[in-house]
């Protein structure tokens, strides 16, 4: 079964600094998508960034970028120039189409604190 592991329950960063959140996953599929979601205190799930496994180029969205290492099954999120509004839970997720279904498998999350 697919699993997603986030090994950092909590992280903190100074405002304007850079922080990297780790994520590893396990799968036997060759084609898949990976996502990072942000969940602020409002609990709304907000898509931050996505990566298609067949693309070698790492995805970038403004201050957010990923380091996708397919062979190592690693998908880390880098947040540059951290802002107070970045404080939230961050979830790594894997999209599987196994068995004719479609679902997201989430990690347990990393709580990010941004210090002024």
Partner 1 sequence: NAGVMQNPRHLVRRRGQEARLRCSPMKGHSHVYWYRQLPEEGLKFMVYLQKENIIDESGMPKERFSAEFPKEGPSILRIQQVVRGDSAAYFCASSPGVSSYEQYFGPGTRLTVT
Tokens of 27: 């799968």
Asked if 44 interacts with partner 1 (CB under 8 A), we say: yes
Q: Distance (Å, rounded) from C-alpha 1 to C-alpha 70?
A: 17
Stretch that binds partner 1, among 13-21, 54-62, 75-83, 105-113 (CB under 8 A): 105-113
Q: Distance (Å, rounded) from C-alpha 49 to C-alpha 67?
A: 12
Asked if 48 interacts with partner 1 (CB under 8 A), we say: no
Asked if 62 interacts with partner 1 (CB under 8 A), we say: no
Q: Are 66 and 51 in contact (CB under 8 A)?
A: yes
Stretch that binds partner 1, among 56-64, 70-78, 79-87, 103-111 (CB under 8 A): 103-111
Q: Distance (Å, rounded) from C-alpha 76 to C-alpha 54?
A: 17
Q: Are 92 and 75 in contact (CB under 8 A)?
A: yes
Q: Are 73 and 27 in contact (CB under 8 A)?
A: yes
Asked if 107 interacts with partner 1 (CB under 8 A), we say: yes
25, 68, 75, 91: residue in contact with partner 1 (rule CB under 8 A): 91
Asked if 56 interacts with partner 1 (CB under 8 A), we say: no
27, 50, 65, 70: residue in contact with partner 1 (rule CB under 8 A): 50
20, 45, 58, 113: residue in contact with partner 1 (rule CB under 8 A): 45
């Amino acid at each position: 079964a697919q699993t997603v592991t986030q090994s950092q329950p909590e992280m903190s960063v100074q405002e304007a600094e850079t922080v990297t959140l780790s994520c590893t996953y396990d799968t036997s599929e060759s084609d898949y998508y990976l996502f990072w979601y942000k969940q602020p205190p409002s609990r709304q799930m907000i898509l931050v960034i996505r990566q298609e496994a067949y693309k070698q180029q790492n995805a970038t969205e403004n201050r957010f970028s990923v380091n996708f290492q397919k062979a190592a099954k690693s998908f880390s999120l880098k947040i540059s120039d951290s802002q107070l509004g970045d404080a939230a839970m961050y979830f790594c997720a894997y999209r599987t189409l196994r068995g004719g279904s479609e679902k997201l498998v989430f990690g347990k999350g990393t709580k990010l604190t941004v210090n002024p």
